[in-house]
Structure 1
Amino acid sequence: MSQSVFTPHSKASQGSSIPPLKIRSARVIVTSPGRNFVTLKIETDQGVYGIGDATLNGREKSVVAYLEDHVIPVLIGRDARRIEDIWQYLYRGAYWRRGPVTMRAIAAVDVALWDIKAKALGAPLYDLLGGKSREGVMVYGHANGETLEDTLEAVGRYIEAGYKAVRAQSGVPGVDLAYGVGRGDLYYEPADAQLPTETVWSTRKYMNYLPNLFEALRKRYGFDVELLHDGHHRMTPLEAAQLGKRLEPYQLFWLEDATQAENQDAFRLIRSHTTTPLAVGEVFNTIWDAKDLIQEQLIDYIRTSVVAAGGLTHLRRIADFASVWQIKTGCHGATDLSPVTMGAALHFDTWVPNFGIQEYMRHTAETDAVFPHAYSFSDGLMHPGDGPGHGVDLDEALAAKYPYDPRQLPVARLEDGTMWNW
């Protein structure tokens, strides 16, 4: 009987099998090429390695400690092929489970293991998930400006760049440091100081102003381009219902995070008053955070991300559950997620049958250099690349030149000083 020889890049289509891939080491790399990223690198005794993203914006070191103290020690010596078993071990084996820190740590391990397995088979990650469901992934960019006219021009620039969908955010007269208004055309990083910046908010001023923005956008650009907007959890359920109804004539692709996501029941009130599509979930960590929203069809898009939801293994379950109720995916994809998560998300998006859209904020040139990647943008669509694994790597020597830079997200107060949702 002949003995098969393991070749790391042998093609799965040629019938190769993978012998045990024993985890030899795992390391956390923290780098800040413009903003902080936490990356987990897992290496096997066969010389195949994988990387996963564990970034938690403004709380990065909490995940570093969780990985180094509680996760990495139990990974050494395990078989990297057993992705499901390792996921269950890290989730079920933690009595204090769920939450943003735990699930990001699990996500980093999970994505790194999928990367390893795909590389060992010489296949793009989407092939392991079930193969392509589409030829490209529709993404939306972020257009914003201090004034209505600034935002109109910013949306136009995205349309000229080929985007088929654009998120529009604008400064609000009388509201200083309104959410979503960046400091450049492509980059928006709200975590801006070692201690949280305090901003002031007025929901009434915002609600009276916003319909004017979308009326102006439709007058200038028509109805062929998809328009999105993020409410960022700042409205009460009734306020969100009122705004959704006022925005109906402008046919938004979605109104995102209309109210606090913790209160799933609140979406019943919103749903009963408006047909504006609703999206929520970037702060969700497990299927339990979205269960009622999905099975009662209170939302149209589920936005949890690869890194927030414990990796591809669990995100697939959320997407499959959502598909039963004709709810689509719309994964979070801001710059607080590293290119590793973007690469993994694009492989997921290429496969998932009930795909809706993918958020895509461009990283800085420094970040792109630290994380060389195979994904690309063309004519409004993203492509994950067809090489082995998820297609994103880490230049450790370059990463070391950008040390950790403590930053926190802002907080918000109402005009009378009451703490509010940022």
Structure 2
Amino acid sequence: MSTIERAEVFVSSPGRTFVTLRVTTSDGVTGLGDATLNGRELAVAAYLRDHVVPLLIGRDPARVEDMWQFLYKGAYWRRGPVTMTAVSAVDTALWDIKGKVAGLPVYQLLGGRSRDGVLVYGHASGTDVPSLLDDVERHLELGYQAVRAQAAVPGVGGTYGVRKGTIYEPAAADLPEEQPWDTEAYLGFAPGYLEAVRERFGFGFHLLHDVHHRLTPLEAARFGRSVEACRLFWMEDPTPAENQEAFRLIRQHTTTPIAVGEVLNSIWDVQHLITGQLIDYVRTTVAHAGGITHLRRIFDLAALYQVRTGSHGATDLSPVSMAAAVHLDVTVPNFGIQEYMGHAAETFEVFRSGVTFADGRLNPSDAPGLGVEYDEKAAERFPYRRRYLPVARRLDGSVHDW
């Protein structure tokens, strides 16, 4: 019987910082998992090295479900982003191994295709409305059928989602950037630029917008109602998800669809949102919500309540996560959309992925497993760089949700 012989944790910063787990069996088969938690990468790396890796050695890599239960229930202190990201990495690596042993891509092990490709959305942004419109046009010319639109609020330096270079990178080196925020200025400005996008480009593509936890429930309801004529595919994270009953209030005032879940880590975190039909899309991700095994459970629960998938897919998740997400996305019946931001050129010097983009959709590799290779030597050229996500402060100086 093949057993797990070695498990290694790599931390490197090719464009962004990634934590990668590589599991090797006694037969020489390797599997990759993404253990990246933006801004807290070393916490997950230590959790894996110090607490999880010793538990893996000598175990049967084929027992994916049993390993998930062992790492989750066996820890006693359950859930939370650090624990669930570590569990996710192990689970994804074991699915990669299982596919390689079977000689099949992971999506075939999950039941095969439910669709020909995975609809994705890109991120258009601008420092003002004209530059946003130009960036939306660029995405449409690249073939995207769905585009998220974000523009800098005049006079507010802390607007979320505005790209400074070719790749969106909110994290800063040294210490967190403390950014100003003005809710009223945002509420007065954002609906207008979303209307401008529709006025220029029409309704022949999906338009999305990320509020990024910035509003109270009533403010979110007001915003959702103000953009109903834009027919948004969704407004994302309109208010912090800790108070989940708050989404019922938003529902009472607007028909704009709601997407939530990128910072949530388990089926128990999203259970009420789903069963109460308080959201339309669940955004939990393979890297932070327990890997393929647990994310599939979340999606199955969501399907019972006509909630569709819309997994987080920012560039702080490595190509390993993106591949795993696409393998799952292509199989689930209640798939909605997949976030896709792309990665810096340096990232692809370290990760070689078989995922392909065409006509606004992603397709998984047909290679056995996930179809991703990790170049350890290339990773050594990109040593770890500490980075922090920003912190938002209201104009009176008090801390706000970023």
What do residues 354-377 of structure 1 show as CA deviations (whole Å, max 9, x unaligned)?
Answer: 000000011011101210010010
Distance 1:34 1:321 in 2: 36
- 1:46 — aligned with what? 27
2:66 maps to a residue whose letter is: D
What do residues 321-364 of structure 1 show as CA deviations (whole Å, max 9, x unaligned)?
Answer: 00000100000000010000000000000111100000001101
Give 1:229-240 correspondences, 5 Å limit. 229-240=209-220
Q: Which residue of the other structure, out of 283, 291, 298, is the alignment partner of 1:318?
A: 298
- Taking structure 2 as the reference length, the TM-score comes to 0.99
Distance 1:211 1:154 in 2: 18
- 1:386 — aligned with what? 366
Q: Which residue of the other structure, out of 322, 346, 360, is the alignment partner of 1:366?
A: 346
Q: Which residue of the other structure, out of 127, 130, 154, is the alignment partner of 1:149?
A: 130
- 1:139 — aligned with what? 120
Compare 253-262 and 171-180 and name the one that shifted more: 171-180
Per the TM alignment, residue 114 of structure 1 is displaced from its structure 2 partner at its CA by 0.2
Distance 1:39 1:194 in 2: 23
Q: Quick check: 1:291 aligned with 2:271? A: yes
Q: Quick check: 1:331 aligned with 2:311? A: yes
Give 1:82-93 correspondences, 5 Å limit. 82-93=63-74
- Taking structure 1 as the reference length, the TM-score comes to 0.95
Task: Flag the structure with larger Rg.
Answer: 1
Distance 1:382 1:35 in 2: 22
Compare 174-183 and 142-151 and name the one that shifted more: 174-183
Give 1:110-259 correspondences, 5 Å limit. 110-185=91-166, 187-259=167-239
Distance 2:125 2:380 in 1: 33
Number of corresponding residues: 402
What do residues 208-236 of structure 1 show as CA deviations (whole Å, max 9, x unaligned)?
Answer: 10111011111100001100000000100
- Mind listing any 5+ residue stretches in structure 2 that lack a counterpart? none
Q: Which residue of the other structure, out of 319, 343, 352, is the alignment partner of 2:332?
A: 352
Q: Quick check: 1:57 aligned with 2:38? A: yes
Per the TM alignment, residue 182 of structure 1 is displaced from its structure 2 partner at its CA by 1.0
1:94 maps to a residue whose letter is: A
Instruction: Name the Cα RMSD after superposition.
Output: 0.6
Per the TM alignment, residue 308 of structure 1 is displaced from its structure 2 partner at its CA by 0.8
Q: Which residue of the other structure, out of 343, 348, 351, is the alignment partner of 2:323?
A: 343
SS at match of 1:290: helix
SS at match of 2:297: helix
Kept after mapping to 2: 8 A contact 1:412/1:419 = yes
Per the TM alignment, residue 193 of structure 1 is displaced from its structure 2 partner at its CA by 1.9
What do residues 366-415 of structure 1 show as CA deviations (whole Å, max 9, x unaligned)?
Answer: 10121001001001010111110011110000001110001111100000
- Mind listing any 5+ residue stretches in structure 1 that lack a counterpart? 1-19
- 1:14 — aligned with what? none
- 2:245 — aligned with what? 265
